[in-house]
Amino acid sequence: DAGITQSPRYKITETGRQVTLMCHQTWSHSYMFWYRQDLGHGLRLIYYSAAADITDKGEVPDGYVVSRSKTENFPLTLESATRSQTSVYFCASTTTGTGFSPLHFGNGTRLTVT
């Protein structure tokens, strides 16, 4: 089915471990984003990508790494997980780079760092 899918849906990991969250979209959208949702903060932008091999930092990038070798995939890696990275992570995509195109979100990955 067309859309944006995230995996895994739930993940528990230990402090210090590396973990990768996957995001795949079938719309061929050029722009992709990673947000995290935390109580009291709403959604905050971690990283975004304008096209394959083009990525840039968002509001809260520290501790995260992204790559985009293919247009349809945008994985997010926590190099050494910390408890403060316990959150719900949402991947999103859109067709243009303006603020006038609504983002389409995946269903999220709930990550717990113990």
Partner 1 sequence: DQQVKQNSPSLSVQEGRISILNCDYTNSMFDYFLWYKKYPAEGPTFLISISSIKDKNEDGRFTVFLNKSAKHLSLHIVPSQPGDSAVYFCAASKGSSNTGKLIFGQGTTLQVKP
Torsion over CA: 1, 89, 73, 20 (sign):
negative
- Choose which of 23, 108, 111, 113 interacts with partner 1 (CB under 8 A): 108
Site string for partner 1, 45-84 (x = CB under 8 A): x--x-x-------xx-------------------------
Gap between the Cα atoms of 49 and 105, Å rounded: 15
Q: Which two tokens stand for residue 36?
A: 């995290």
Asked if 44 touches partner 1 (CB under 8 A), the answer is yes
DSSP secondary structure, 15-72, as one string:
TT--EEEEEEESS--SEEEEEEEETTTEEEEEEEEEETTEEEE-SS-TTEEE--SSTT
> How near is the Cβ of 74 to partner 1 at its closest, in Å?
14
In this complex, which beta carbon is closest to partner 1, that of residue 26 or of residue 80?
Answer: 26
Q: Catalog residues that contact partner 1 under the rule CB under 8 A.
A: 4, 31, 33, 35, 40-45, 48, 50, 58-59, 90, 92, 94, 96-108
